[in-house]
Amino acid sequence: MIQGVHRYPPMERVIYGIPLVEALAQEIDRVEANAVYVLSSGTLARQTDVVDRVRGVLGNKFAGLCAKIGAHTPRIDVVAAANAAREVGADALLTVGGGSITDAAKMVSLCLGNDVTDPAQLDNFRAVIRADGRTERPPVKPPAVRSIAVPTTLSAGEFNSPAGCTDTARQVKESYLHPLMMPRSVILDPDATVHTPEWLFLSTGIRAVDHAVEDICSINPQPLSDGTSLHALRLLSRGLRAVKADPGDLEARLDCQLGSWMSIMGSQNGVQKGASHGIGHVLGGTAGVPHGYTSCVMLPPVLRFNESVNAERQAWVADAMGCPGGKAADAVAALVADLGLPGTLRDVGVKPEQLDRIAEESMHDRWVHTNPRKIAGATDVRALLDAAW
């Protein structure tokens, strides 16, 4: 008999399919925000009307804009945004953009709640993951201000609480957590994604596939996330291919957004992920590989490595992705290829001389230690990297 506890996350609403202007106006009124500080990708702010539409909705409640968050959420950018939000007396944050922007708002809320005004102070709040997998998290005060997220990619970070933030001086991406760092609400409008570069939209869709796959194949799967993850794979497999064929297909884009949301339910309930995510974090922070691409290159070899211990669940993955009787790794690799995305480490710019350091750093990521098939040390990680080369 299975046993467990389901925890509902501290998120109030997910609004889907309703146009951004309408949904945002209702949400700002609902939360009674009066000074909204906006974080957006630079491209959206400079080259599209999305931020202008947001500004029009907010009117005199618009308190300021940060459009200078770098990839992988550099801590120097985060603290600069927090200082600006503090100066204007922000009582709500609004993100319009991808995962780096979403994580930035989580970090800004942490900074505001913990009086962080200098990047070096973030050392006091980062998680420390030992080489044996032990995670030590220092106490963190609750965020002073919470966020509303309008995602334009599919990485699904807006549906969980942790944030990744990169110390660019040491080239290490670190983890921060308070449950209330999770956005208060999320608005899924497929029209807000049409300006996202194709490679970014599709590759973050593979990131969502990675969430679903590693939750299904986890060492501690959960009934609700099994169901949502399997449906996420159906929606994403269909939706991503449809968007590739017709970028203007808003129904397919919404399928992808819904699949992204459903892919993350396990993370809300402590389902442990595996080495694709763990190594992916290091590829991002240390080698500068976009998160979507890390899943494209690492998920198939990790699935092949793990098949001896979870073949039955991998069969569920293959079936949900439209390949009954096939291999999960082959189904993922076929989707990556159909979308025209890179499938090897060399395709995403990783250099051979970086592999040993990536392997060593990966042993300091908690999800490498919860991989279904035990990873004993950096030598095992290096073998996975070689398989992805």
* Structure letter (DSSP) for residue 303: H
Tens digits of per-residue pLDDT, 15-31? 999 999 999 999 999 99
Tens digits of per-residue pLDDT, 56-69? 999 999 999 999 99
Domain map of the chain by residue range?
Answer: 13-191, 197-388
Q: Determine the Cα–Cα distance for residues 125 and 159; give it in Å rounded to an integer.
A: 21
> Distance between the two ends of the chain, CA-based, in angstroms?
42
Beta strands in the chain (DSSP E): 13-16, 36-40, 62-66, 92-97, 128-129, 135-136, 147-151, 163-167, 172-176, 185-188
Of the pLDDT bands very low, low, confident and very high (cuts 50, 70, 90), residue 285 is confident
Tokens coding 243: 């968007």
Q: At residue 133, does pLDDT exceed 80?
A: no
Tens digits of per-residue pLDDT, 349-362? 999 999 999 999 99
Q: What pLDDT is stored for residue 220 in this prediction?
A: 96
- Is 197-388 a CATH 1.20.1090.10 domain? yes
Residue 355 phi, psi (nearest 5)? -65, -40
Tokens coding 220: 């501690």
Angle between helices 223-245 and 198-216 (to 10 degrees): 160
pTM equals 0.94
Rg value, the chain, Cα: 20
Q: Which CATH architecture has domain 13-191?
A: 3-Layer(aba) Sandwich (3.40)
Q: Determine the Cα–Cα distance for residues 111 and 114; give it in Å rounded to an integer.
A: 5
Helix (H, G, I), strand (E, B) or coil at 216: helix
Angle between helices 328-338 and 291-320 (to 10 degrees): 130
